[in-house]
Amino acid sequence: MAEKRLMGEILVELGLIDEHRLRHALEIAKKKHRKLGETLIRLAYLSEDQVLGILKNLAGVPAIDMKNGVIGKAAQTVLPPDRMRELKVIPMEIRDRQAVVAFADPLNYVAVENVKFLLNRDVVPVLASEAQVEDILEHLERTGYGKKNLSLSSVKRSISSITIEEMSPSNILRLLDDPESTDLHLSLGTAPAVRTGGIFKRCRMPIVTPGIMKDFLREVMREEERRELEEKKEVEFTYLRPGVGRYRINMYYQKGGEVTVAVKKLVEDIPSLASLGLPDSLTAQLGKKGLLVVSSARGQGKDTTIAALVDRINSTRCCNIITFEDPIEYIHHHKSSNVNQRELGKDTGRDFSEIFDRVNNHDPDVLVISDIKDAFMVETAILAAQKGILVIIGLNAVDVFSAIEQLISTLSDDYMKALFSRSLLAAFAQRLIWSRSSKKRMLIWEHLLGTPRVQKFIRDDKIYYIKGQATSLKGEYFPMEESLARAIRNGLLTGDAVLEEPWINQDVLRIYLER
């Protein structure tokens, strides 16, 4: 602790860090069993160069040069990779009687003597951070040891290049600039995390402090959203930052008063049906009148699919389209049709029964309710479909059967269930699976057409019988496993990608793959 205090005192005296952050870094260093300097780097309280600059003066050894340094081909194989990881060292250059070796802790006498013994040479130590050692070894694991000289400037860094002072709302939101990143998560006391390729990953950035969170909330929230958060303990809204992007932001309280944030970047350009991989059987419903159900688990692309359907109608038909969204994710511009988008709570009142009771006063040819929330919305959609318009509704459900069951469970009587069955054009469900070859998420889907036979199954509460009669319902029911088998056969996905997915019937998938 004496060394840590000495270094900490120097940093405070130089004005590089305040005492509050120093105390916090010392606590984290003790908890994680790390050196203070390494902890300051990983917390991004100081940059790597700042920390190594102080340490090289304290230790009296030079620091590794990540811009111009080179690791010789011969040096890469003189120690086994597991020993380099264990000792936290990187041999840089091998000479006749000496070896230049980068150490995460050059003052660790035991580590230095071990390396001397293993190399049978005197050692010239060079200072490196643990993160530098880890990143270099990670690079060599990917490219191969001893194949060619390694220029350190080519090593991909895992640590953040920004410090805590640079944790502005704009810089935080730019974490979603990577097209593979779909979601951003902010919680107090830990670094931001992003979901990339469907995988939740912690960013090597400063932890989110109360001050950083306060600045973020102040930047993105309006007064009405602040009031709703205080009253309801959670709020969801869209936020536009010119030059950065549009975002859907969800905030909620946890641990008795801490605010946690989930952010999704909204794509400005509405994708085409073809680019999404949506089937012609779904597109064919857009010229009809009745109820079209679109479902997916949360975060699996339901809203994007609905936006693409609306855009197709907007481009090919002359009609009045009314949407109810919470919040508005895609902005539609009037083309052949009028698209009037209403965000619940902002463009409407809070009384849903009153809002949807007046839907027909808007004279819609197409009615869209992007997220069905209660029984009144369901009944409004069914009654509107019965009056001879196209109604598109979205809900969170893992498959078409769960979606239909979910809707039926909200209906008040057999009469409404009968109306629902007669109104149903089709139910569509989708999943997004990460494709390593395409470097994007692929859409896998299933649909159930509202034929007279399917409508009778629904009226008789036998919706799940359909799954067992899939082979005899060709053209009426298209299962998820068949869509998945097509993607695998076309090389878009591998069977390994879905081996552990509980929503896939592996036996059924094998049958379709063998056809």
Per domain, the residue ranges of the chain are 1-60, 63-159, 164-266, 273-478
Tell me the CB-side half-sphere exposure of residue 24, using CA atoms within 13 A: 16
Contact between 127 and 38 (Cβ < 8 Å): no
Q: What is the mean pLDDT of residues 485-494?
A: 85
Backbone angles phi, psi at 463, to 5 degrees: -60, -35
Angle 258-263-267 from CA coordinates, rounded to 5°: 170
Sheet holding 98-103, edge to edge: 89-94, 98-103, 122-127
What CATH topology corresponds to 63-159?
A: GMP Synthetase; Chain A, domain 3 (3.30.300)
Dig out the tokens for 211 from the structure.
């001050």
Question: For 116-125, 335-344, 353-362, which range has the lowest pLDDT when averaged over its residues?
Answer: 353-362
Number of neighbours of residue 337 by Cβ within 10 angstroms: 20
The CATH architecture of the domain made up of 164-266 is: 2-Layer Sandwich (3.30)
Q: What is the pLDDT of residue 299?
A: 81
Mean pLDDT estimate for the chain: 88
Which is more confident, 182 or 394?
394
What SS3 state is found at 53?
Answer: helix
Q: What is the pLDDT of residue 471?
A: 64
What CATH topology corresponds to 273-478?
A: Rossmann fold (3.40.50)
Q: Which amino acid is at 191?
A: A
Question: For 111-125, 175-189, 451-465, 500-514, which range has the lowest pLDDT when averaged over its residues?
Answer: 500-514
Q: What is the mean pLDDT of residues 165-182?
A: 86
Backbone angles phi, psi at 273, to 5 degrees: -60, -40
Question: For 2-16, 141-155, 270-284, which range has the lowest pLDDT when averaged over its residues?
Answer: 2-16
Residue 123 pairs in a beta bridge with 99
Taking only Cα atoms into account, the Rg of the chain, rounded to an integer number of angstroms, comes to 29
pLDDT band at 4 (very low <50, low <70, confident <90, very high): very low
Q: Examine the pLDDT at 366 and tell me if it is beyond 80.
A: yes
Q: What is the pLDDT of residue 463?
A: 81
Contact between 403 and 296 (Cβ < 8 Å): no
The rounded distance, in Å, linking the Cα atoms of 365 and 378 is 18
Q: What is the pLDDT of residue 344?
A: 86
